[in-house]
Structure 1
């Protein structure tokens, strides 16, 4: 003889509510784990600085340090790193025989917005820890009321922190796109010219030569002495001058003043002196810059 244990409507309601609650617990835990994963990826790739031969070990150590951080530590590092818009300083003793790379990904936001996001992340970390470590004492799986209250709070929790998940996803995607663009650049012909000869994208070898000459004698007001720049160019290795002439289809390099007068990116002026005047030149200011 088979005995059937009767199941009450209340039992069915509890079981259905409990299953839905378990689903939401798992969903929210995965949401927080995804946030943690995104933070680790964002921070591990937020900066890279060092000589070419050291980059792999520096990157590996950074990733290892980040991987062992707690959610609270990741949150602190996020605000200390991603919103730091200060420029990296080159090392005091740069090795000219080695390429030195300095990469930094940061986001500029107002102080008010950063403070609001800090509060938001503080609540996120607290609720994540409550869910992972302190859920059971507050949960009675036999009480329909307890189950429904927890289930509702889990749904509200998801709604509160879903924007953070979307924001971190966007930041990671943007960072990844930038890194890919940098990688594509260094693999391109323009990237090779930059690495080997220091020629910026869009520059000619003449532009590079004139820029280097200007930096050799730049004054506080941004102008450079044409005479000193000419001396700098005369002291350059013959192969550099030959490449400039080849690019311009010249047999010899014209006078410096003539080159600058024909250049679309430099400008000339004279300045009176006791004995007459001197010629000065500089890169043309950007239209948005104050002169």
Structure 2
């Protein structure tokens, strides 16, 4: 006959298993905290929009908001915002409806697009992760009576499986975070390039197409119009030559050639932003004969105004 296991051995084994449960549960919760911290860092940097002077305050507010969010809330933000199903369409930035039409406005969004099936599967998996977290934090002792040897053994096996699940999710999130960082680094590199400055500041796309309403040369012509107008406004016709001289001093990098034009008159025409008028200079008497001479025409411009109905 087999010798019966002594109560002392049972007690020792139970104590070992109870300590193992404590260590494994702690390991699971620590990994979950790492997951939450990484997810918060990612979500704090996926959206930013506002006037340049407000961007730091807006980002600080978003970081604070995300910091207070539970794992379930974080996952909802992540699957409903950063992870994007192909047919879903990009969600609008939270502050897009506040963008003023007459101020410089910066908007940044970062998304990872995937098929609808993949998005649905990930959403379901992350919901299971949230459920697992809640089970570990709130219901482990209800599920396993740690005063019984067999239930302690079951708890150890459950925690091992839980840790493997959490680790898998964490490694996936780390990969996504690395992709996000790489994309952000590429974006930062592009934003420091001449091509971005041409596009963002002067409205010149990499293919040479010009967004005339947002172009630096149109802005310069309007600045010259305001500076040279007698009343300091835009109601007067401005001589183009005077504006060219003013722009050469104030914005020497703004030249027609940068925008694919051969002359300032072509800029006025291509932009469609200005009305153009030619006028004849006042006649001047010539010496001794009492006759008059003219010196050609002068091109004037002013910002285009809506036609009065």
- Give the alignment's TM-score, normalised by structure 1: 0.64
Aligned position for 1:167:
172
Aligned CA distance change for structure 1 residues 42 and 180 (closer, same or farther; 3 Å): same
- Higher Cα Rg: structure 1 or 2? 2
Give 3-state SS (helix, strand or coil) of 2:100's partner: coil
Aligned CA distance change for structure 1 residues 208 and 153 (closer, same or farther; 3 Å): same
Matches within 5 A, 1:21-40: 21-40=21-40
1:184-207 Cα offsets, whole Å, 9 max, x none, are 33334444444432334x45xxx2
Q: Residue 93 in 1 paired to residue 107 in 2?
A: no
Aligned CA distance change for structure 1 residues 246 and 186 (closer, same or farther; 3 Å): closer
Matches within 5 A, 1:141-220: 141-200=146-205, 202=206, 207-209=208-210, 212=212
TM-aligned CA deviation for residue 94 of structure 1: 2.0
Within 1, Cα distance between the matches of 2:39 and 2:81? Answer: 11
Matches within 5 A, 1:48-197: 48-84=48-84, 85-86=89-90, 88=92, 93-96=100-103, 98=104, 100-197=105-202
Contact 1:241–1:253 (Cα < 8 Å) also in 2: no
Which sits farther off after the overlay, 124-133 or 170-179? 170-179
Aligned position for 2:230:
none
TM-aligned CA deviation for residue 242 of structure 1: 6.4
Contact 1:14–1:143 (Cα < 8 Å) also in 2: yes
TM-aligned CA deviation for residue 93 of structure 1: 3.4
Within 2, Cα distance between the matches of 1:31 and 1:103? Answer: 30
Aligned CA distance change for structure 1 residues 241 and 15 (closer, same or farther; 3 Å): closer
Aligned position for 2:20:
20
1:206-231 Cα offsets, whole Å, 9 max, x none, are x254x539x9xxxxxxxxxxxxxxxx
Give 3-state SS (helix, strand or coil) of 1:93's partner: coil
TM-aligned CA deviation for residue 255 of structure 1: 11
Within 2, Cα distance between the matches of 1:242 and 1:187? Answer: 19
Aligned CA distance change for structure 1 residues 254 and 83 (closer, same or farther; 3 Å): same
Aligned position for 1:243:
255
Contact 2:28–2:166 (Cα < 8 Å) also in 1: no
1:135-156 Cα offsets, whole Å, 9 max, x none, are 2333444422121100101111
Within 1, Cα distance between the matches of 2:143 and 2:91? Answer: 48
Contact 1:36–1:71 (Cα < 8 Å) also in 2: yes
Give 3-state SS (helix, strand or coil) of 2:69's partner: coil
TM-aligned CA deviation for residue 108 of structure 1: 1.5
Contact 1:47–1:104 (Cα < 8 Å) also in 2: yes
TM-aligned CA deviation for residue 90 of structure 1: 7.3
Contact 2:50–2:106 (Cα < 8 Å) also in 1: yes
Contact 1:25–1:154 (Cα < 8 Å) also in 2: yes
Give 3-state SS (helix, strand or coil) of 1:108's partner: strand
Within 2, Cα distance between the matches of 1:66 and 1:31? Answer: 19
Contact 2:203–2:212 (Cα < 8 Å) also in 1: no
Contact 2:44–2:66 (Cα < 8 Å) also in 1: yes
Q: Which runs of 5+ in 1 are unaligned?
A: 1-5, 216-234, 257-291
TM-aligned CA deviation for residue 70 of structure 1: 1.2
Aligned CA distance change for structure 1 residues 77 and 160 (closer, same or farther; 3 Å): same
RMSD between aligned alpha carbons? 3.6
Aligned CA distance change for structure 1 residues 117 and 87 (closer, same or farther; 3 Å): closer
